[in-house]
Amino acid sequence: MPTDLWRPAPEAEDVKNIPIAFLDGSPLGAFTMRVYLGPKNSIGATYFQFVIVDGSGRESQPVLQGLSNTGEYPAYNWIEVAFFQPRVALIATETARAAFVDLRGAGLEEPLFKRLADLLPPGGHLMVEYDSPEQEETRQGLERGFPPAVTPVGSLLFRVGCGLSFKDWYFAEGGSEGPRKLQCFKPLNEELARSHASLLAQEMEAFLATGTAEQRDPLKRRAIEQAREVMQRLRGEGKPERGRDSIKKKERRGLQRLKRILQHLRGMGIKGRKQ
């Protein structure tokens, strides 16, 4: 897209109707996020891109680029990340040399995507590409049939509160669908969240039964480790107890697991339906 089509978010005429623009000026570690908005596409979604700025005023190359859409119904609210570059250059100024920043290595990838996920209401969805070289491990895992939640992109989306259920857009030819991507959904209410969490736990259990973290396959080993982390977040996985187990003890353990799931869901900003 030509550079003259991008404008700083504060200068956009309809900025109040574009939630993604509200991230302009937000802190990200030692940096400040700057949002640029582009034109709208054929369905009214707005192109956007993020850069980061350091304390000396050096602005980076685009870190993330995509589309943002809002609407009356929950499903009309979505964000698509069509490009993400975790390692970017800070452009030199008269007083500071160019430098590189590794957002992933600095632990800033998750906070960045958490900000995106938090913009979406229950019922909205977030899509992230896995066609680029930076997301190669996700592509390999999905092609081998791994559950989305155990891949790097999927586990990231789960951690930021938008990954209890997924859809894999694996169109190899690209075209109007764009690059291959993972789509994650924010459950509309707590009832759906519970259902999706239960199905995800079953999927993790089935995947864990296919191997161990000690095997020589590094891709599978990392995926199994991630599956265990998902289980811990959802159910509070523990070591099995030996001997008799009273009914009260089972009930107490079940309540503890339920509390962990509810705490995780509340962290996602999901509320139950009014009675």
For 174-198, the pLDDT digits (tens) are 455 678 999 999 999 999 999 999 9
Structure confidence by residue, pLDDT tens digits, 245-265: 444 444 455 455 555 555 555
Backbone angles phi, psi at 173, to 5 degrees: -85, -10
* Average pLDDT for 206-212: 88
Q: Read out DSSP for 80-119?
A: EEEEE-SEEEEPP-SSS--EEEETTTTT-HHHHHHHHHHH
**Per the confidence metrics, is the pTM higher than 0.85?**
no
Q: How many H-runs (helices) and E-runs (strands) does the chain carry? A: 6, 11
- The 10s digit of each residue's pLDDT in 4-49 is 789 999 888 777 889 999 999 999 999 999 999 999 999 999 999 9
Fold (topology level) of 3-231: Aminopeptidase (3.40.630)
Domain ranges of the chain: 3-231
Query: Does the pLDDT of residue 66 top 90, yes or no?
Result: yes
Q: What is the mean pLDDT of residues 146-169?
A: 94
Per-residue model confidence (pLDDT) at position 208? 94
